[in-house]
Structures are given as structure tokens and as C-alpha cells.
Amino acid sequence: MNDFDPVRATNRPELLSAICQMGALNWAFTTKDLYDPAALRDFPAVQASYHALPPDPEPGNRLRAHSRFSLSHETGELLLMDGSDYSQSAEYNDDSGGKVRHFAAVSQEVLASSTLHHLIQIYEIIARATQPQLFAERDVTIGVHQIRYAPCGLAPAYSNPIVPHRDDERIVVVLLSSVSQNMAGDQNYLGQDRRNLGHCFRLQRPLDALVLGPDQYHGVGVMHSIDGRPAHRDILLVTFM
Ligand SMILES: [Fe+2]
């Protein structure tokens, strides 16, 4: 996979900064500077893999794949779990909560990539530092979602739910893999509740990421193509629950 040293990594200022932001705000913005470039050597292949994603059957003009790992409490080992279905609780998603959504599994190439394992290692450090109780007594489920938002012509692409919401997962990393220049409307917003939005910005460069802490209200705008030609915004979600 990669030669990652978690002790050395925690001394890096970018990582400490992300942990401090999480403590102060319950969210953080991170960039490519958080990562070891050598561990991301296969990131171009991960980016290219979005072209082969199958459609998400839900409305929203997205393509999607999903897989999960289990992080063993006893051994720290990361094990791929069976199945790629996904569901959210009705309490957190009043649109498709409680419903089982059927997604294709993430490709073996991406699941085995140095990039994905490095991202999981980095965000596991942030998750352990900010949500230690999550790791205290049981195995942690790490979700991986590849999502392509693909507006075209006058057809928008959008998230589910479309309104400000919280996620079931305790830590959610929204990482930009790639975005086309003709994409618009893709601003992320954050709020203290559904009606009080406090921050709004775009993920613009590859590896820009928004890290959400527990029960953080958030959402993303309705996306459209500026020139009508196919546009894309490719997101990798890494979640801890
Ligand atoms: Fe969400």
C-alpha cells in the first residue's frame, strides 16, 4: 500500500491545523498539502475511474459507487465488508432516509489504491483525535462513496437530500477529485441549523476537502452546466461511523 508513519504524520502542521479547526468549528477545510505526495502517486488513476461509474438510480443526475471497510478495534486492520447497499436513517434524511439504496461497489483498482488508503489513514488520525469515543469499544465502519455529479444541457445535478441536513456518520470527508470548468452552482454551505447558514465556499482544486463533524448541518447547491455541454464534479466521500 504505502509507507505511512502515523507518528510522523501527526507532527505535520497541516494535520494539527485540521484537528484544531474541527475542535473549534466542528468542520474543517483541507487541501492537498495535508497529504504525502508519494502516497498519492496513483491519484490520476482514481480520478480517471469516475468515467466508468454506473448511474445512481435516484434522481439527481449522478453516477455512483459505494463500498465499506470495517476497522478492527482489536487489531487496527482494515477489512473490506460485503455488499454495497446504502441507507440513511429517516431522522437524518427526510427524503430517502430509511430506504435501502442499491449502488455498485467501488472498483478493485480504487479500493486497493495507495491514494484511498492514504486518505483513510490521514482522516482516521483526525477522526481519532476529534471523536475518540467512536473508536473506544467497537469496530468502526468506514464508508467510501465515489459520486459524479453530471449536469448536462438544462438538466441539473443535485444531492440527496437537496436541503441543509445532517449525516448519520460521525465524520464525513467530502473530497474533490476533479471538477470541469463548465460546472456552476457547486458551492458547499454549512449551518448551525437548517435555517442559519454561516459559511459557503467551493471545493475548487483537486484534493480540496470539507471535513464535517457530528451533526453538522450542510449541503451543496444545485449544479448546472455553464455551456450546456456535459459537466462533472467528482467527489470522494470517506465516512466514519
Ligand atoms: Fe450529507
Query: What would you report as the CA-atom Rg of the chain, rounded to the nearest whole angstrom?
Result: 17
Using the mean position of ligand 1's atoms as its centre, give its distance from the Cα of residue 37 in Å.
28
The answer as to whether 89 is a domain residue is yes
Q: What is the tens place of the pLDDT at every residue in 3-43?
A: 666 656 667 899 999 999 999 999 999 999 999 999 999 99
The answer as to whether 23 is a domain residue is yes
Contacts for 26 with CB less than 8 Å, ≥ 6 apart: 212, 213, 214, 215, 216
Using the mean position of ligand 1's atoms as its centre, give its distance from the Cα of residue 223 in Å.
16
Using the mean position of ligand 1's atoms as its centre, give its distance from the Cα of residue 217 in Å.
8
Task: Say what the pLDDT of residue 87 is.
Answer: 78
The answer as to whether 1 is a domain residue is no
Using the mean position of ligand 1's atoms as its centre, give its distance from the Cα of residue 20 in Å.
22
What is the total residue count of the chain?
241
Using the mean position of ligand 1's atoms as its centre, give its distance from the Cα of residue 105 in Å.
20
Using the mean position of ligand 1's atoms as its centre, give its distance from the Cα of residue 188 in Å.
10
Closest by CA position to 146, among listed 62, 53, 236, 55: 236
Task: Say what the pLDDT of residue 3 is.
Answer: 60
Look at strands 78-80 and 183-184 and give their pairing.
Answer: unpaired
pLDDT at 1 over 60: no
Using the mean position of ligand 1's atoms as its centre, give its distance from the Cα of residue 166 in Å.
6
Q: What is the tens place of the pLDDT at every residue in 144-192?
A: 999 999 999 999 999 988 999 999 999 999 999 999 999 999 999 999 8
| Half-sphere exposure of residue 54: CA atoms within 13 angstroms, side-chain side | 11
pLDDT greater at residue 6 or residue 199: 199
In angstroms, rounded to a whole number, what is the distance separating the alpha carbons of residues 134 and 126?
A: 12
Q: What is the tens place of the pLDDT at every residue in 221-241?
A: 999 999 999 999 999 999 999
pLDDT at 56 over 80: yes
Closest by CA position to 103, among listed 83, 132, 89, 79: 83
Q: What is the three-class DSSP state of 115?
A: helix
Using the mean position of ligand 1's atoms as its centre, give its distance from the Cα of residue 220 in Å.
9
Q: Which residues hold their Cβ within 5 A of ligand 1, which is an ion?
A: 167
The answer as to whether 228 is a domain residue is yes
Under DSSP, the state recorded for 198 is E
Task: Say what the pLDDT of residue 149 is.
Answer: 98
The answer as to whether 134 is a domain residue is yes
Using the mean position of ligand 1's atoms as its centre, give its distance from the Cα of residue 7 in Å.
31
The count of domains in the chain is 1
Using the mean position of ligand 1's atoms as its centre, give its distance from the Cα of residue 116 in Å.
20
Say how many C-beta atoms besides its own lie within 10 A of residue 205's C-beta: 11
> What are the backbone dihedrals phi and psi of residue 46, each rounded to the nearest 5 degrees, phi first?
-65, -45
Using the mean position of ligand 1's atoms as its centre, give its distance from the Cα of residue 210 in Å.
11
pLDDT greater at residue 197 or residue 89: 197
Q: What is the tens place of the pLDDT at every residue in 78-132?
A: 999 998 788 777 777 766 677 788 889 999 999 999 999 999 999 999 999 999 9
Q: Which residues span the domain enclosing 192? A: 6-240
Q: What is the three-class DSSP state of 34?
A: helix
Q: What is the three-class DSSP state of 56?
A: coil
The CATH number of the domain where 154 resides is what?
2.60.120.620
The answer as to whether 183 is a domain residue is yes
Copy the grid coordinates of residue 42. Answer: 496513483
Contacts for 41 with CB less than 8 Å, ≥ 6 apart: 114, 115
Residue type, 200: C
Task: Say what the pLDDT of residue 6 is.
Answer: 63
